[in-house]
Amino acid sequence: MALDKAAVAHIATLARIRLSEAELEPLADELSSILTWVEQLNEVDTVGVAPMASAASVSLPMRDDVVIDGGCREAILGNAPRAARGFFTVPKVVE
């Protein structure tokens, strides 16, 4: 699969990474060569083969629905680039 500049710009939008116009062309080349390389998997017959999401053979364990941790708002907000009155703050979203 060869990606063009427009495709790379679209992926970058989905990934929320700003790219400059000058970065699109070289990235299109790099990503295209990686995608072309991984397409060797098309040689493999996988009809009827179940996908493997994890090597863990255990199914997800259940536990009682009770609070086991928490009550540490200050500690959590301590790493926030901006916080006010017990909340994370971000640029205004609603007009």
Regarding 15 and contact with other proteins (CB under 8 A), the answer is yes
Q: 88 with 82: CB under 8 angstroms?
A: yes
Q: Of 42 and 85, which has the nearer Cβ to other proteins?
A: 42
Which of 19, 43, 42 is closest to 30 using CA atoms?
19
Residue 72 in the binding site for other proteins (CB under 8 A) = yes
CB of 16 to other proteins, least distance (A): 5
**Shortest approach of other proteins to residue 71 CB, angstroms?**
12
Among 21, 22, 42, 67, binds other proteins (CB under 8 A): 42
Binding status of residue 9 toward other proteins by CB under 8 A: no
DSSP string for the chain: ----HHHHHHHHHHTT----HHHHHHHHHHHHHHHHHHGGGGGS--TTPPP---S--SPPPP--SS--S---HHHHHTT-SSEETTEE--S----
The residues of the shown chain that bind other proteins, judged by CB under 8 A, are 3, 8, 11-12, 14-19, 27, 30-31, 33-35, 37-44, 46, 49-58, 60-61, 63, 72, 75-76, 78-82, 88, 90-91, 93
